[in-house]
Amino acid sequence: MMPFGFVKVASEADAIKAAQAGGRYIAGGTTLIDLMREEVERPERLVDINALPLNQVRVDGDTLVIGALSRMSEVAVHAETQRLQPLIAETLIEGASPQLRNMASIGGNLMQRVRCPYFRMLDAPCNKRTPGSGCSAIDGLNGGHAILGTSQSCVATHPSDLAVSLVALGATMRVRGSRGERSFPVEDLYRLPKETPHLEHTLRPSELILDVRIPNGPWSRTARYLKVRDRSSYEFALVSAAAALQIDNGIIRTARVACGGVGTKPWRMHAVEAALVGQRPQRSVFEAAAQHATAGARPLSGNQFKVELLPRTITRTLEMAGEAT
């Protein structure tokens, strides 16, 4: 690990000022510290933001508000999360081991880096780590990599389970930086790799995530999450799906579907949603709609199985959401 400076801050203003001076925010550190040990990340200064009052879970009208410094374990068991947005509780429990959930913050989970093994190999070309060096995964070991949103520069999947469900639920996030405060959909936080895969998000320099806001909808209490992985213990998704359905008088009025493990960012399935609206919630309808999920897919040598696994995962998740409804 390279030498680095460390400062604790007690206010948002001090945190933003320290970040402007070249600091990196740290809360739980479950991703950043690992990458620093491997010298993939080499920040000159860490800014400890744990003293900031951003760890509350509360209800604002009909919206669940989750502070960015709230720990995953705290949010998962919180009474308001389980009452208003049980999908979030389910996703957080699926997203990490108990030890990690106790440490990892909500903001940090959304900002975690990719788990592509070549990203962590300093002797392997990686455009995320060293822009312009190449992508080792394209012709390498790529069974866990993306089939949607890829480019010739990067094929790494986005790792966050939570982000998938937040996108499905239409969540927004509030951030603050040197240019003031702004809000935007969680879906808009992430960039496609294109030719600049090292630019992973849309946050401006020194911007601090304040909270995530999840609106209550007619589908909120019946949405479900399904994660397919190599083992049932802590592991990243091969394919995952979050599905939310509004069903009135036996007809699907609204459908929201997002997937993980297949895209370079949390992948909203707009075509699947459109195919569901106006239909009856039954397996044949779910299967037909799910086939739209693979439009534009570009499988690699080792992950062609995801082209078949993705529609099956969506179909089963829709069945689970329909049963709950």
**CB of 30 closer than 8 Å to CB of 103:** yes
pLDDT at site 244? 97
Quick one: pLDDT at residue 175?
98
Tell whether 261 and 311 lie within a shared domain.
yes
**CA-CA-CA-CA torsion sign (271, 277, 279, 284):** positive
Alpha carbons 231 and 31: distance in angstroms, whole number:
21
Kind and range of the H or E element at 120? none
In a shared domain, residues 210 and 65: yes
Residue 244 lies in a domain: yes
Question: Is 317 among the domain residues?
Answer: yes
Q: Rounded distance, CA 165 to CA 317, Å?
A: 12
Whether residue 144 is contained in a domain is answered as no
Burial category of 4 from C-beta neighbours within 10 Å (exposed 0-12, middle 13-18, buried 19 and up): middle
Q: Is the Cβ–Cβ distance between 214 and 91 less than 8 Å?
A: no
Among the three residues 19, 34, 50, which one is the final residue of a domain in this structure? 50
- Shared domain check, 234 and 200: no
User: Are 11 and 81 contained in the same domain?
Assistant: no
Using an 8 Å Cβ cutoff, are 227 and 240 in contact? yes
9: domain range? 5-50
Determine if the pTM surpasses 0.95.
yes
Say if CB 149 and CB 261 are below 8 A apart.
no
pLDDT in tens, the chain (325 residues): 889 999 999 999 999 999 999 999 999 999 999 999 999 999 999 999 999 999 999 999 999 999 999 999 999 999 999 999 999 999 999 998 889 999 999 999 999 999 999 999 999 999 999 999 999 999 999 999 999 999 999 999 999 999 999 999 999 999 999 999 999 999 999 999 999 999 999 999 999 999 999 999 999 999 999 999 998 777 899 999 999 999 999 999 999 999 999 999 999 999 999 999 999 999 999 999 999 999 999 999 999 999 999 999 999 999 999 998 7
- CATH number assigned to the domain comprising residue 267: 3.30.390.50
Q: What is the pLDDT of residue 158?
A: 96
Indicate if 193 and 94 belong to the same structural domain.
Answer: yes
Torsion over CA of 32, 37, 39 and 44, rounded to 10 degrees?
Answer: 60
Q: Is 264:192 a contact under the CB 8 Å cutoff? A: yes
Q: Can you give the pLDDT at residue 1?
A: 81
CB atoms within 10 A of CB 164: 29
On whether both 87 and 34 belong to a single domain, the answer is no
Say how far apart CA 122 and CA 119 lie, in whole Å: 8
Q: What is the DSSP string of 205-224?
A: TT-EEEEEEEE--TTTTT-E
Do 247 and 184 belong together in one domain?
Answer: no
Torsion of CA 43, 21, 194, 186, to 10 degrees: 100
Do 250 and 181 sit in the same domain of this protein? no
Distances, alpha carbon 26 to alpha carbons 37, 161, 162, 164, in Å: 15, 20, 19, 23
Instruction: Confirm whether 117 is domain-assigned.
Output: no
What's the pLDDT at 234? 76
Alpha carbons 262 and 297: distance in angstroms, whole number: 9
Q: Which pLDDT value is given to residue 202?
A: 98
Q: Does 286 lie in the same domain as 262?
A: yes
Decide if 257 contacts 242 (C-beta within 8 A). yes
Give the total number of structural domains in the chain: 3
Q: At residue 109, what are phi and psi to the nearest 5 degrees?
A: -60, -40
| 231 and 206 part of one domain | no
Closest C-alpha to 224, from 313, 311, 320, 314: 320
Asked if 314 and 193 sit in the same domain, the reply is no
Residue 140 lies in a domain: no
Burial class of residue 162 (count of CB atoms within 10 Å of its CB; 0-12, 13-18, 19+):
buried
Could you tell me the CATH number of the domain that includes residue 27?
3.30.43.10
| Residue 102 and residue 195 share a domain | yes
In a domain, 129, yes or no: no
| Distances from the Cα of 94 to the Cα of 39, 162, 242, angstroms | 29, 9, 12
157/216 Cα distance (integer angstroms): 29
